[in-house]
Amino acid sequence: MITVSREVAASPEDVFAVLADGWSYAGWVVGNSHVRDVDPGWPEVGTRIHHSAGAWPFQIQDATEVVSVEPGRFLELDARLWVLGAATIRFTLTPYGTGFGTEVLMEEEAVRGPGGLIPAAVQAVVLRPRNVESLARLADLAVGRRASLFHADGMPNR
């Protein structure tokens, strides 16, 4: 498993709200360029995000499926990418500080297809920088979401 983590100045609920918004997927997952559809009920187990990866006109269309979920705490995905295979991706959210901070742990491993044959050290060269950037984007969306819901003094926006 390739593991990266990031501290985010938002609650686990705020971070999970971004993960639970399937339409935001292409906005923070590096390499995904377009969300074509999100199954009703996302992120319930078995639901999918139907997405495209790459730059037009050379896009690959596939889907990512929820394998396991604990709202506000954990999300495990089976992310497919056409002939390249599939990866298991896990997000674990742990609160820190006074409840307004979250450590996000992202783990990824190619498990099927040609990608699964690549040694972990080589996978890490590609996946670690990609996942660090993905977590930075996820953090920005979670913090921005929180800012749009609350004033700096913690009072709700109306």
pLDDT in tens, 27-51: 999 988 889 999 999 999 999 999 9
Phi-psi region of 82 (alpha: psi -120 to 50; beta: other; left: phi over 0): left
Residue 111 identity (one-letter amino acid): V
157 in a domain, yes or no? no
Number of domains present in the structure of the chain: 1
Domain of residue 49, residue span: 12-149
3-state helix, strand, coil in the chain (%, to 5): 35, 40, 25
Residue 43: is the preceding peptide bond cis (ω within 30°)? yes
Are 75 and 49 contacting, i.e. CB atoms less than 8 angstroms apart? no
* 111 lies in some domain: yes
Does 4 fall in a domain?
A: no
Q: What is the pTM of this model?
A: 0.87
Mind listing the pLDDT tens digit for each residue in 58-116? Answer: 788 889 999 999 999 999 999 987 667 888 999 999 999 876 899 999 999 888 877 77
Determine, yes or no, domain membership for 62. Answer: yes
Is residue 36 situated within a structural domain? yes
Cα 3–8–5 angle (5° rounding)? 10
| Within-domain flag for 1 | no
CATH code for position 43: 3.30.530.20
